[in-house]
Amino acid sequence: EDQVTQSPEALRLQEGESSSLNCSYTVSGLRGLFWYRQDPGKGPEFLFTLYSAGEEKEKERLKATLTKKESFLHITAPKPEDSATYLCAVQARAGTALIFGKGTTLSVSS
Amino acid sequence: ETGVTQSPTHLIKTRGQQVTLRCSSQSGHNTVSWYQQALGQGPQFIFQYYREEENGRGNFPPRFSGLQFPNYSSELNVNALELDDSALYLCASSMGGSYGYTFGSGTRLTVV
């Protein structure tokens, strides 16, 4: 069964304190791994898509990496506005639906 | 691009009633998926439509049904509402293949 597990469930950081979020997955033939950001009461906002092991993508203070079993979302020098829930999802085959993890809720305090 | 628009934003229904949620996808996005997100959980896949035909379904009972229309809009219907149906319902559209999905802001459904 295709499955996505995210850890930790919650993470509290001080402003400027870098850290990483983990997404481990088991899927029969990964087509793509997606990272989304979700603010309370809102829909997920697309961040990155990773397609193959070794791939890395960056956007401002965020960097996503992918191995054959997991993905990391590295947050460098976070700011309070980075506080949100970060969702990881996998797509097993092209055109199929996304399978999501439960998310990591990040709180950054100044 | 106009994004993905969902209506209504909030809805309160009584147990046993029926509800229809609506979604307007981005032009050219021939794939639309619906997800249910309970509080504190990740989105759970309900079903997906490709060019107006259902091409995937998650572990949801038949009282959850949907339609996709030629103008890139779609709807989710839920019959015989139960208290556990209270959740944020998300619509997402895509051009298909390995393109990512764009999500709407969701409809918050409360069943009392």
Share of chain A above pLDDT 90, in %: 86
Written as one string, the DSSP assignment of B59-95 is: S--TTEEEEE-TTSEEEEEE-S--GGG-EEEEEEEE-
Q: Hey, are the CB atoms on B42 and A36 less than 8 Å from each other? A: no
Stretch B44-59: mean pLDDT, rounded?
Answer: 93
Q: What pLDDT is stored for residue A72 in this prediction?
A: 98
SS3 A80: helix
Stretch A20-44: mean pLDDT, rounded?
Answer: 94
Q: What pLDDT is stored for residue A95 in this prediction?
A: 75
| pLDDT reading at A33 higher than 60 | yes
Q: Hey, are the CB atoms on A98 and B33 less than 8 Å from each other? A: yes
Cα distances from B1 to residues B26, B30, B51, B107, in angstroms, run 6, 14, 19, 21
Q: Does B87 touch chain A if contact means CB atoms closer than 8 Å?
A: no
Residues of A in contact with B49 (CB under 8 A): none
| pLDDT reading at B102 higher than 70 | yes
A2, A3, A11, A5: which is closest to A74 by C-alpha? A11
pLDDT-derived band at B59 (thresholds 50, 70, 90) equals very high
Nearest-CB residue to A43 (from B31, B97, B105): B105
Residue A73's H or E segment, with its range, is strand A70-75
Cα distances from B79 to residues A51, B8, B23, B62, in angstroms, run 38, 17, 18, 9
Rounded to the nearest integer, the mean pLDDT of chain A is 95
pLDDT-derived band at A102 (thresholds 50, 70, 90) equals very high
Share of chain A above pLDDT 70, in %: 100
Q: What pLDDT is stored for residue B97 in this prediction?
A: 67
Residues of B in contact with A47 (CB under 8 A): none
Residues contacting B82, CB < 8 A, separation 6+: B15, B111
Q: Does B41 touch chain A if contact means CB atoms closer than 8 Å?
A: yes
- Residues B79 and B62 sit within 8 Å (Cβ to Cβ): no
pLDDT-derived band at B2 (thresholds 50, 70, 90) equals low
Best probe of the A interface among B26, B41, B46, B98, by most A CBs < 10 A, is: B98
Cα distances from B85 to residues A74, A78, B17, in angstroms, run 35, 36, 11
Residues contacting A65, CB < 8 A, separation 6+: A50, A55, A56, A71, A72, A74
Q: Give the residue on B whose Cα is nearest the Cα of A51.
A: B98
Residues of A in contact with B44 (CB under 8 A): 100
Stretch A46-51: mean pLDDT, rounded?
Answer: 94
Query: A2-14 pLDDT, tens per residue?
Result: 899 999 999 999 9
Residue B70 CA from chain centroid, whole number? 17
Stretch B41-59: mean pLDDT, rounded?
Answer: 93
Q: Does B60 touch chain A if contact means CB atoms closer than 8 Å?
A: no
Which chain A residues in 55-74 lie under 8 Å from chain B, judged by CB atoms? Answer: none
